[in-house]
Chains A and B, each alone.
Chain A
């Protein structure tokens, strides 16, 4: 079938961006993630779904070492970004998080101007030498965040003055400003209304041209709409990982079917 509209919606599994093997996470005594193996493709949206407490957010946070900040949390196993062990002693977690950006559930713009929100990351990572360079980065990032047209005339106003949906797109613009390779999104739309959600989903689809996007969502419908690959987590296990079209029309595992049809939670 040579319909471009069909070709572009498929996941291209040729390039693996992140490989995870035998990943286990413990919160004190609690075994939160059990032997998870997964390959995350480049230029693809991968969704993690599952009931509350299934470990999907915990696993997402392993991918840019956000669990390092939690004292009782212990992560074992092998996670590689383009073949490089992200937990190696030589890897600087701050640098890693510039490569693997993150967007959170609640929009969290800095209490600064829209411009400074976006410029902050490039500034601390030394990505711009001149003011003109920085202006260019800010504009490019805001354009990628699909919010440029709405804010271009008020870049000096506080980011916190924007609507919820705009704030979230600002946070996405901020995340892409450091030229990351992977974008992690932890329930990025759960604080947004349906229209703002649709705008962010459209943005996610555009971001897929350049990045590997991993999204945790408690909305199965959102996973169905935005992703090409879906991973279903249950009780800390990765139950099923497959093409989104297959997961939602003909899953292999009974637990996946029960969850997506609303029979277990």
Chain B
């Protein structure tokens, strides 16, 4: 298949909407890494910048949705073009959520300023954040190169993000049970951990869209839950 349409303005429309999604991706990566940096350093000013930056990500999400609707209405895309439009809409939604999580991380950093510390958790959050940020970057890279091998590899990688989250969950739970003064900070840190873990899920979602774009079908296997740590309380109830 030639990659150019006879009507070149169609190509420009498709390129433009994909470029907007990529720009969103870049901003989300930055928001995550700067938000995490602010969290580790307790840098309130940087956290505030990250919090405000989410507006731009939301505006780009709206741009993508508007452009995609326009493409559907005006170009009546079919086959691979249709899947391109549908997948950019999905990917933009995933990225928009990731932006929200980065913003939430920044807000909690501001809220926790000056309060106590639970040893080692912030560093662990930093590692986890760097891990999912790479997942997002690689997922977008796989998307733009239509690389389904890489996409499948990213989906598999999410298990590792879940594992880091479960370790953190266990650690935070222990600290909170040991000393109730840890609870306030522990709750914040747990929400941050959960949010970062969710970013990994969205990276997986983006990778799945790449597979859909290339093959026309979404991968259907549900990954088995290997670790039930986060279900601790439900299990102890019965």
Contacts and interface: CB of A to CB of B under 8 A. Distances in A.
Contacts of A198: 5-7
Interface stretch (A70-78, A99-107, A244-252): A244-252
Contact of B9 (A9, A195, A221, A248): A9
A82 to B, nearest CB: 27
B12 interface: yes
Contact of A225 (B10, B19, B20): B10
Contact of B6 (A199, A224, A248, A249): A199
Interface in A221-243: 221, 224-225
Interface string B39-60: 0000000000000000000000
Given A5-B15, A5-B16, A6-B16, A224 B9 contact: no
Contacts of A225: 7, 9-10, 74-75
Q: How large is the interface on B (under 10, 10 to 19, 20 to 34, 35 or more residues)?
A: 20 to 34
Contact of A244 (B13, B20, B67, B74): B74
- In the complex, which range does the number of interface residues on chain A fall in? 10 to 19
Contact of A224 (B12, B16, B75): B75
A215 B5 CA distance: 22
Contacts of B15: 5
Contacts, number: 48
A149 interface: no
Interface in A149-207: 195, 198-199, 201-202, 205
A1 interface: yes
Given A1-B63, A6-B16, A249-B69, A205 B74 contact: no
Contacts of A205: 7-9
B7 A224 contact: no
B1 interface: no
A5 B8 contact: no
B74 A224 contact: yes
A3 interface: yes
B73 interface: yes
Most buried by A among B20, B73, B75: B73
A224 B12 CA distance: 15
Contacts of A248: 73-74
Interface in B79-133: none
A9 B6 contact: no
Given A245-B74, A249-B69, 17 more contacts: A3-B20, A5-B12, A5-B15, A9-B12, A9-B13, A198-B6, A202-B7, A205-B8, A205-B9, A221-B76, A224-B74, A225-B7, A225-B9, A225-B74, A225-B75, A248-B74, A249-B73
